[in-house]
């Protein structure tokens, strides 16, 4: 049996998103026969030696790609980044303590709501006043908070922290939509977490990279399933991990390493972002929706100055094989998600369509 190749689509999906073609081929092969074992990756025990090796490799690659300190731990759990919204306060907020958050979008809002279910939650800054179109600056993080959480990249609104604020308390970061897209100073964070499906792999696994010394010291009794230190001590095998999602994430991280690591990936992402944002700024019929200095290289949000032209524009990009650029309902317009595996040729295809359309209708 051969594996059918897909037809060429420029996939701008916001998540689950495009992964490298070679990863799809390797993953398909492992579904049929995992490393010559005669078994599918879908039917092997998570406690088998070959899968233990996959898990160890995936954990090591997270740390290697991000340059994490040796003593940091990595676990891959189910439940999505959304389960992280409750895992975080349970692991970092003392009973009777409090947390501090910055609200930069829908995911941050949800995280704040979940923290409130656990204890006192301070929102130290917010950009909700302008529909989350910028990153707040010049706020104070209270020194008596148990932790401070932020969302590094706002997937829906297309904004990104370029510099992380200095914090007097442990920092927790939801990096779901820009993890592995640029280098970060891991030691500045007690915890980095993210759903796999935006830069790391397929849906189904959530990665937690944490400093065990600054995690779980709350004295709070919590479920072992939500206890990061428990999962860390059990090498991410306390219960059945999302085997296939971890495997495909490992393949994707191997690809990242092969192409030159996160520094090279950042270069590629910057080139893609420049190409598209330059077109948005050059063509008067398109308008970016995010403050220029806070624009995300991962998710570029824009609208048309004349919304009546949208149906004609939509027809044109669909014809060019472009998929997934309609904006989220809370922003409208368009959102082009340019995750790591999206080739610059796909961005060029979109820019060509925009230029063509502007010439015809400008
Ligand atoms: C997509 C996303 C989430 C939600 O992830 P799930 O895995 O669907 O729970 C959380 N935070 C950010 C920043 C996201 O982009």
Instruction: Report strand pairing: 171-174 vs 120-126.
Output: unpaired
Question: Which residue(s) pair with 102 in the sheet?
Answer: 125
Residue of 16, 79, 80 to test ligand 1 pocket, by largest number of atoms within 8 Å of CB: 80
pLDDT tens digits along 97-128: 999 999 999 999 999 999 999 999 999 999 99
User: What is the DSSP track for 214-244?
Assistant: GSS-S-----GGG-HHHHHHTTT-SS---HH
Class of domain 261-361 (CATH, top level) = alpha beta
Q: Range(s) for CATH 3.40.640.10 in the chain?
A: 24-259
Question: Which residue(s) pair with 295 in the sheet?
Answer: 159
Pick the closest to residue 341 from 268, 283, 291, 284 (CA basis). 268
Answer whether 98's CB lies under 8 Å from 144's CB: yes
Residue 198 a catalytic site member: yes
Residue of 152, 176, 337 to test ligand 1 pocket, by largest number of atoms within 8 Å of CB: 176
Query: Cα 93 from chain centroid?
Result: 24
pLDDT at 362: 74
* Catalytic-labelled residue, pool 98, 161, 174, 294: 174
Record: fold of 24-259: 3.40.640
User: What is the DSSP track for 88-152?
Assistant: HHHHHPPTT-EEEEEE-SHHHHHHHHHHHHHSEEEEEEE-GGGTT-S---S----TTSSEEEEES
Answer whether 159's CB lies under 8 Å from 294's CB: yes
Query: Cα 66 from chain centroid?
Result: 14
Angle between helices 310-319 and 344-361 (to 10 degrees): 140
Q: Range(s) for CATH 3.90.1150.10 in the chain?
A: 261-361
pLDDT at 315: 97
How far, in Å, CA of 101 to CA of 121, rounded?
Answer: 7
Pick the closest to residue 235 from 17, 12, 60 (CA basis). 60
**Torsional sign, CA 283, 357, 354, 324:** positive
Answer whether 351's CB lies under 8 Å from 317's CB: no
Answer whether 186's CB lies under 8 Å from 209's CB: yes
Residue 1 has pLDDT above 60, yes or no: no
Q: Look up residue 326 and give its DSSP letter.
A: B
pLDDT at 5: 62
Q: How confident is the model at residue 4 (pLDDT cuts 50, 70, 90)?
A: low
Backbone angles phi, psi at 125, to 5 degrees: -165, 155
Q: How confident is the model at residue 7 (pLDDT cuts 50, 70, 90)?
A: confident
Average pLDDT over the chain reads 96
Share of the chain above pLDDT 90, in %: 97
Identify the residue whose C-alpha is closest to ligand 1 atom 2.
176
The reply to whether omega before 16 is within 30° of 0 (cis) is yes
**Torsional sign, CA 267, 155, 158, 351:** positive
Please give the distance, rounded to the nearest whole angstrom, from the Cα atom of residue 206 to the centre of ligand 1: 9
The pTM of this model reads: 0.97
**Torsional sign, CA 317, 318, 320, 322:** positive
Average pLDDT over residues 199-218: 97
Whole-angstrom Cα Rg for the chain: 21
Residue 306 a catalytic site member: no
pLDDT tens digits along 9-67: 999 999 999 999 999 999 999 999 999 999 999 999 999 999 999 999 999 999 999 99
Answer whether 202's CB lies under 8 Å from 341's CB: no
Backbone angles phi, psi at 301, to 5 degrees: -105, 135
* Catalytic-labelled residue, pool 98, 146, 161, 198: 198
């Amino acid at each position: 049996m051969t594996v059918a190749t897909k037809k060429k689509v420029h996939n701008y999906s916001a998540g689950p998103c495009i992964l490298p073609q070679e990863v799809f081929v390797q993953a398909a092969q492992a579904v049929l026969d995992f490393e010559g074992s005669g078994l599918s990756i879908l039917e092997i025990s998570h406690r088998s030696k070959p899968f233990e090796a996959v898990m160890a490799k995936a954990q090591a690659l997270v740390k290697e790609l991000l340059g994490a300190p040796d003593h940091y731990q990595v676990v891959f759990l189910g439940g999505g980044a959304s389960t992280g919204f409750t895992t975080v306060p349970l692991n970092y907020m003392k009973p009777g303590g409090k947390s501090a958050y910055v609200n930069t979008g829908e995911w941050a809002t949800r995280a704040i709501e979940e923290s409130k279910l656990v204890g006192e939650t301070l929102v130290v800054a917010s950009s909700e006043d302008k529909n989350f179109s910028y990153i707040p600056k010049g706020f104070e993080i209270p020194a008596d908070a148990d932790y401070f959480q932020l969302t590094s990249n706002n997937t829906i609104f297309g904004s990104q922290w370029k510099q992380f604020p200095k914090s007097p308390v442990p920092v927790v970061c939801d990096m779901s939509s820009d993890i592995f897209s640029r280098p970060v100073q891991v030691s500045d964070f007690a915890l980095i977490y993210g759903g796999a499906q935006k830069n790391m792999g397929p849906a189904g696994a959530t990665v937690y990279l944490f400093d065990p010394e600054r995690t779980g010291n709350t004295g709070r009794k919590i479920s072992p399933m939500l206890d990061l230190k428990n999962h860390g001590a059990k090498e991410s095998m306390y219960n059945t991990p999302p085997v296939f999602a971890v495997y495909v994430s490992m393949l994707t991280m191997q690809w990242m390493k092969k192409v030159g690591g996160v520094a090279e990936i950042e270069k590629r992402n910057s080139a893609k972002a420049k190409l598209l944002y330059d077109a948005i700024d050059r063509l008067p019929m398109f308008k970016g929706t995010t403050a220029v200095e806070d624009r995300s290289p991962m998710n570029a949000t824009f609208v048309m100055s004349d919304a009546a032209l949208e149906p004609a524009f939509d027809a044109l990009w669909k014809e060019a094989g472009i998929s997934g650029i309609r904006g989220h309902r809370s922003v409208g317009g368009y959102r082009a998600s340019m995750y790591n595996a999206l080739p610059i040729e796909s961005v060029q295809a979109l820019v060509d369509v925009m230029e063509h359309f502007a010439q015809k209708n400008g």
